[in-house]
Structure 1
């Protein structure tokens, strides 16, 4: 920034009023800043058809209490130039026989924050929500669904393609299909070919009745995935939960199922083709089908290479139809080794083979150019983890947002004890 700009912003920082000119400051300083999320008071009580949408408007209360009809979003917040923050606070809540469709949602984006709060909750009838292509080919995407399809009756939710070919980022579903009756939830492709992505499901299908949930391809060909299911299907009655092709050919990573199908009655659970990989990660099942009655629980095609651990699980009524007892040393070879020698993928020393060309990962910085803040401004800003709330106020950062997470991680990196031979120098959140 110019000397005149620096002097002007220094005065604002000194009087704690920098937030009043935040867009101008971020532009002049080449900072990564998210726009402030402003709620919309529009009710949207009739059918809507959005062909292309990326102007930064957010929906506070969309389609609540609708009866019949359909709303469609064909291209919502797609491409790298769209607004990075989008929020649906209350979407199709308490509706009856209402359908929603997103053909393309937040695809080809870079560092985005997308959230749905109370999506389709308390809905009834033959309503449905469909995402055909959700956040594919995106970089560092923060995706959140809170209270997704809770307390519904006969509602159908589907994701045809969820965060496929993505890089880094976190995806969370909190309270998914909880206390629902006769719901049907499908993920056809979840995280396929993604790199270093973290996903979390909490209270998935808890205390539901006669529901049907299917993951057709979950975590297939992912690199170093971190996937957690906390309280999956607990307390359900006459439900069917299945995973077909779970972590097939995934590279290392960690999966955790805590309290899986606990205290259920007359439910069916099955994993088909689980953990078939030559370079396995670590999987943990804790409280698997414990306390369940009259259930059918099984693994069809389970590979020992998953390094899986079962803790405190129901030893009766759980079957392994085809348990692969081959050792990892004999499995990792030939075609499987070649399969994992891909551009941009991590690899282990044991996978190095004479005569094989191994492309290194593309570590070029694809973010817009950044710069250091002038010291006159930097010293007046509360860059400290103990003052994170003040810092969030300056930059208008929402609670539990991806920007808050980036701030906390950056401050933690700056404030940690230096390694041997390392000198930590805190220059602020901007970078060269």
Structure 2
């Protein structure tokens, strides 16, 4: 859900400078060469998944749509380009009227992907498509990396809720995007109010150690919090002595205490001790929340512990060791003339060094086995085989420059749960391994 869905005002600035200078210098040269208006197809894909990952998660699609819609060269932006001498007057005049008028297709947000999957396809003139490269990659690489980490953590949590709390560990704007991506990947709530405001994500938060340290006694801090937030609040019990704090917490709030939070120590051992103590004190319904530099491996190690929820920060917003999805944006087909009806011809980089790509405008489908689980990601050019026609993955996102696929954020969140469940069981294993299904290429005619 974006701010417009909430009925909340927001000043959306131009996204036109979220780009690299060479996008504009390529445009200038193409305008001079007479090739700028050739019909072109660009695709976003990754050549490999991060080491050890079994699948990727598409996230950021909704933000891409907003970015494309707001990619405008207003007077301030044009003045900057003019003053720096970045492009010439002819190019500035062209940019002043820029509006993306092409089509965008892509995997729907929340879907899983594999090496070679054409995650997004941008079609239009070379000029209008090339300008979008950097902003599209910036969003998809960041958000997909966070969503993939979130998905692994969600799977490791086994249905227990996850709280995103990484805002203080990353750039303030990246924090909002990270919270959104984490929600798509399976997190239930965020501590970041900007993310709650902009995207409607449920927000949570109670107190830090500073609040306990502010008061003369731990009891006074607990009493103040319960008096303000009610007995259902979550009390932080590891500022001093955990055993004493749990006893005091139940004395102050009674057995109706909502939860206790543990932020340090041997979480497995402490959680068992706290659960036993809470039960003895009659607080059998009081939940236990654990935080403290968790990642998917730490969460998995607590599977047998009496933990009810996890709070994750640093490892989530840094992609749990893989802060980018390594996606690229490559020209895969273009016309030989500026005639809008000219047929497309496939093009591809063929240099050595592992950075080759496959030319042609592609479709993608996921083949299922006899039990209905995914067994291969099939990527091809030309006609789609009959058996895969109803399994195609790309959907239209933008048509003739108009966004046609906005959706509430809960939709990609639910889509991801279903997509992950459709993969072989080994997809959620945390041990290192290859992608859980192979990518197969089907070559065919790749005209328009």
TM-score by length of 1: 0.20
Which structure ranks higher in relative contact order (CA pairs < 8 Å, sequence separation ≥ 6)?
2
Structure number with greater Rg is 2
Structure with higher helix content: 2
- Structure whose residues are more often strand by fraction: 1
TM-score (norm 2): 0.20
